[in-house]
Chain A
């Protein structure tokens, strides 16, 4: 069976350092941090008191959704998701309103957990014997498919519609699932992406695992330091990213703007064996995932210009670089350039892959490589494998043809995608 080519025709983003694609492009090029100190986390005695939260004006959702939908909407994760999805849809040049279902367009949108702030309100009402005051709008916002349902309802999407969850690989996985439906002829267009709202209780649960950076509460913009020796853990952040994927012929027929081609990708698991666990990837699984992605994308390891890493700013960064080096058989000065959006925005967990893929598409369209900020003391475990100049710390304006994007998640799940300039 011949595979259909899949292109990216629309982008939307709600990121800690910018809301909306034009501002996000600017923030990436400027190396703008979106992290800040959270006084409430100090009061609650968290070790890490830094987070990335989009500068999101809640009432501006009224530009995306009708007032009757807006009234009663409380979930930040759903708000971020709708905003990114509608932006991507309009960016793709598609009309917002439709009387008829859009049978040809599906949606895979991911999230990690339902909103625990919202659940807390439920617990409080029930415990206060006010269960009957919960109303009709709670269930639709706490079900995991809530964000997907709001998006598909707004846009009338009526193809394959589903909600995925794979921890920090959620966003990449949603994109890959959309890609697979299109390339195998099961859909012409897919809205894909993911959203994350790190509320107080989710944040606390990560904090208790001692995997977060705790030494930068006074200097929050320096807190996310991927590939650094001083990297002390990641910074949980919130946001959403959305992409419109289309069959190439469908996109060309309507004269759509094309950001990039998604050549292919793979997702797998390391089986939580051979060094893999609930929280750490099995290196063999990662290497297989990267190689399978290249094979499906019919791309040679030597063709990769840039790796947009998972690179969260933990001890896992060195292992990730080692895995890339082994999978591609490239090292030293021959290693691709590598960057991490997380240096600016922290780790948006289930939304990470979607937001970072928006960054990938923008780097291809505008032919630049965004800087790694806070990379002042590269980890020697990394520099013994790759040259220091492979990790750019300033904006590089240069040809970018192929970018490999990966994300890895709890549960030992891996994703790798190969994006290219559309030719």
Chain B
């Protein structure tokens, strides 16, 4: 799964937590989940849990703490996917 494919799935994971759905269209790798997408910081844990299910991976607590921008999220997911396949 390349970064673009990961992003497509990631948008599905994020959507329920974003009040203004139009923000989804403007997402780039630099987008910040809290300041740009206005996601409640308490929901970051839910997003990690949902991402684990979406990609069938496990995300450890240290990795989860890094998932604050779209780029960070894709980095973590990409890494977990590759280690799951190896």
Contacts and interface: CB of A to CB of B under 8 A. Distances in A.
Interface of A: 66-68, 71-72, 132-133, 135-137
A72 B52 CA distance: 16
A410 B3 CA distance: 60
A57 B19 CA distance: 23
Given A132-B49, A133-B49, A136-B46, 18 more contacts: A66-B19, A67-B16, A68-B16, A68-B18, A68-B19, A68-B40, A68-B43, A71-B16, A71-B17, A72-B16, A72-B46, A133-B52, A135-B45, A135-B46, A135-B49, A136-B42, A136-B43, A137-B46
Nearest to A139: B42
Contacts, number: 24
A132 B53 CA distance: 13
Interface in B17-34: 17-19
B29 to A, nearest CB: 24
Interface in B42-68: 42-43, 45-46, 49, 52, 61
Interface centre among B17, B19, B46 (most CB of A within 10 A): B46
A137 B17 CA distance: 12
Contacts of A132: 49, 61
Contacts of A66: 19
A286 to B, nearest CB: 45
Contacts of B16: 67-68, 71-72
A55 to B, nearest CB: 27
A66 B15 CA distance: 13
A133 B42 CA distance: 14
Contacts of A137: 46
Nearest to B44: A136
24 contacts: A66-B19, A67-B16, A68-B16, A68-B17, A68-B18, A68-B19, A68-B40, A68-B43, A71-B16, A71-B17, A72-B16, A72-B46, A132-B49, A132-B61, A133-B49, A133-B52, A135-B45, A135-B46, A135-B49, A136-B42, A136-B43, A136-B45, A136-B46, A137-B46
Minimum-distance CB pairs A-B, first 9: A71-B16, A136-B42, A135-B46, A136-B45, A135-B49, A136-B46, A133-B49, A68-B19, A135-B45
A137 B19 CA distance: 17
- Among A67, A71, A136, chain B packs the most CB atoms within 10 A around the CB of A136
A368 to B, nearest CB: 44
A137 B45 CA distance: 10
Contacts of B43: 68, 136
A135 B16 CA distance: 14
A71 B17 CA distance: 8
A68 B61 CA distance: 24
B67 to A, nearest CB: 14
Contacts of B40: 68
Contacts of B17: 68, 71
A132 B46 CA distance: 10
Contacts of B19: 66, 68
A66 B18 CA distance: 10
B56 to A, nearest CB: 14
A345 B43 CA distance: 38
B33 to A, nearest CB: 13
Nearest to A137: B46
Nearest to A136: B42
A136 B17 CA distance: 12
Contacts of A72: 16, 46
A218 B43 CA distance: 47
Nearest to B17: A68
A9 B16 CA distance: 35
Contacts of B45: 135-136
Nearest to A70: B16
A72 B19 CA distance: 14
B7 to A, nearest CB: 21
A387 B18 CA distance: 62
A68 B19 CA distance: 6
Contacts of A71: 16-17
A53 B42 CA distance: 33
